[in-house]
Chains A and B, each alone.
Chain A
Amino acid sequence: MGHQWGMAIDLDRCNGCEACVVACHAENNISTVGEDQAARSRVKHWIRVERYYEGEFPDVSVKFMPVFCQQCDAAPCEPVCPTFASYHTSEGLNGQVYNRCIGTRYCANACPYNARFFNFFNPVWEKPLNLQLNPDVSVREVGVMEKCTFCVQRIKAAEIQAAAEKRDLKDGELKPACVQSCPTRAMVFGDLSDPESEVSRLANSSRGTRLLGELGTRPKVTYLQRDSWHGSENA
């Protein structure tokens, strides 16, 4: 069908609220690891809101930047995977086949964004928290790698629905959980192969940048840089 899914994130809107982070946990059956494992950096936040301070008190400014799998078109995590568990899909996504992953963690090293997270132990949901699990998303066992999938289960569901209704997907009708929740509408998801889509438009914005694009990973996420105020003391 030739979709090329991509995202654009407007850092001038993002306010660091973390709604995307919790939404992703809720949608994708990401297990919480608890205090002790969190202290050992074993938390699995497929999306994280990076926070950077600039300057010294009192002239301090802060920048928020949500980072997650950039679905690179030249993904360093793919060639290194010995079992093809990390592979490129026809729709330009970086797929992750849990069943196939044997846990070398090579992909995670190769990922310049540290977007991949490892299951150091089997996941636990203390009953009845297990009832919160999303039946559309398989849970991951100990020893396998996981990461943002662009909510592929939602993509597939929407595509199947559209196919059943013999129509094309409308721009914006399909939203990953993080995009859906984002209270500032900082995140926009869509089809980069459709030049009319909002995400395509934003991808070509003058503020648009690719995170670590210089590494040649060809990420499919565009970051629109924080803007500044253009007014003056007297309008």
Chain B
Amino acid sequence: MAAKTPEQITDDLLRPLSGISGRYAVSAAFLAGVIVAALCAFFWQVYAGLGVSGLRWPVFWGFYITNFVFWIGLSHAGTLISAILRIANATWRRPVTRCAEVITVFALSIGATFPVIHLGRPWLAFWLFPYPSERGLWPNIRSPLLWDFFAINTYLMSSVTFLLLPMVPDLALIRDRATGWKKKIYGAVALGWTGTPKQWHRLETAMHIMAIAVIPVAVSVHSIVSWDFAMAPVPMWHSTIFAPYFVAGAIFSGIAALILAMALLRKLLRLEEYLLPIHFENLGKLLLVMSLLWFYFVFAERLTAWYGNETGEMAVFWVTQHGSYSPLFWAMVACNFLIPFPILAIKKLRTITGTAIASFTIVIGMWLERYLIIVPSLSHKYLTYSWGAYRPSWVEITITAGTFCAMGLLYMIFSKVVPIISIWELKAGLKERPQAAHAVAQPNEAGAD
């Protein structure tokens, strides 16, 4: 890294913004195609009725709510991690924070659509909003769905701010190099940044405040998501462990998602000199800790259920341990622990490829976890006569696929308009005071390039 001069950094990191490769166009088109298909599926569901999904009595929540929890979980990658790293002032974080924070914003926006997608009458979703209606009707604040509404909105707003603030200097940099209409647009979003010490000072203070403020928000979000379940007297839902269990799972899947994203960016945007093995090594260690934590939570949850031996819970317990849901259950354990643990524990395997593979299985495993929390419980509530089974329909599958593609496409577009690695923070890594960055921002020097 020391080999790189500020100018090289600027050039390397701005390169991805210029020009669109054929490969980029093709994959973007593909992703867009799937997204359009998902939109069609959704509108068909609105038109025909929720019956086109696989939902049924008594399994009233399925793929949609699974996706909701999954995406909200992923969103804990960025903001939370980068906030922690910022506060801990871990210098290796510098190339990582932005692509992490982007994950948060996109995953959160995607996750937040599912509570609407799954409604029986989505056109009335606005009744969840607290607004003075002509009938003086306010939503029911006792409902965890309302808590979701507030928590997710708060988290989304703070994450967006948390992403945008440190982008400003880089946007200014692009503005200064750009010409014509681009200059206008970047100029507008650069908020008149000139890099005066005063501005730098304000930016850093703001980042410090945000970094601290965003952590409790992030924790609250997944706690509340967990309470959507824990508040209902449903076997294996009604548990005090859910909030920390969900938060840990969220960070777990979040880090995995981050590692995957970084590995991809590294290849696709040729950022080999910036996203270094050390980053994957460190995040890999973090992931290892979370994997152990996850296993600990699952063990604790299962042990208490089994030891308590309450009839209702045991039905769900056994159906997941060795009943019809056991293949999925053991696949989840393999994906979240058995496979990643050795990879991440053994230093030799904790390579970029290694951590990427582990992260991949973890992302799958964590999706399965959410599915296995929701469906087996609902299909095996107390009265055995009312037991049922659930199978998703093509509509749910298409919409689910659509949201994964949406994540990819958004990420691709983002990396085309904003440097995915924070230029000024990297440079700041070179010198202690960010003078260099300040210097680059000088028009005359820019002209001299």
Contact = CB atoms under 8 A, between A and B. Distances in A.
Interface of A: 37, 40-43, 48, 50-52, 67, 76, 79-84, 100-106, 108-110, 112-114, 117-122, 142-145, 211-212, 215-217
7 contacts: A40-B56, A82-B127, A108-B57, A112-B233, A114-B386, A118-B55, A119-B49
B57 A80 contact: no
Interface stretch (B92-100, B153-161, B212-220, B376-384): B376-384
Contacts of B384: 52
B102 interface: no
Given A102-B121, A109-B232, A217-B233, A83 B60 contact: no
Interface stretch (B142-150, B282-290, B347-355, B361-369): B142-150
Contacts of A102: 119-121, 124-125, 127-128
Contacts of B50: 103, 118, 120, 142-143
Interface residues of B, number: 41
Contacts of B232: 76, 80, 106, 109-110
Given A42-B51, A104-B120, 5 more contacts: A83-B127, A83-B137, A102-B120, A109-B232, A118-B55
Interface of B: 48-51, 54-58, 60-61, 115, 118-121, 124-125, 127-128, 137, 139-140, 142-146, 228, 231-234, 378, 381-386, 388
Given A108-B60, A114-B381, A121-B51, A103 B233 contact: no
Contacts of B146: 82
B66 to A, nearest CB: 14
Main secondary structure of the interface of B (DSSP, over half): loop
B385 A143 contact: no
B120 A119 contact: yes
A84 B137 contact: yes
Nearest to A113: B383
Contacts of B125: 102
B51 A82 contact: no
Among A101, A105, A211, chain B packs the most CB atoms within 10 A around the CB of A105
A209 B115 CA distance: 38
B139 A83 contact: yes
A215 B310 CA distance: 12
B121 to A, nearest CB: 4
A81 B140 CA distance: 7
A41 B56 contact: yes
Among A52, A104, A110, A118, chain B packs the most CB atoms within 10 A around the CB of A104
B49 A142 contact: yes
A82 B140 contact: yes
A143 B49 CA distance: 7
A177 to B, nearest CB: 21
B386 A80 contact: no
A94 to B, nearest CB: 14
Contacts of A51: 385
Contacts of A106: 143, 145, 228, 232
A79 B51 contact: no
A112 B381 CA distance: 7
Contacts of B231: 79-80, 110
B140 A42 contact: no
Contacts of B388: 41
A79 B128 contact: no
A210 to B, nearest CB: 13
Question: Considering the complex of A and B, which 8 residue pairs feature the smallest CB-CB distances, nearest first?
Answer: A103-B120, A143-B120, A120-B51, A105-B60, A143-B121, A50-B385, A114-B386, A41-B56
Contact of B119 (A76, A104, A114, A121): A104
A50 B140 contact: no
Given A102-B125, A120-B49, A121-B49, A109 B234 contact: yes
Given A112-B381, A118-B120, A143-B49, A42 B56 contact: yes
A146 B54 CA distance: 19
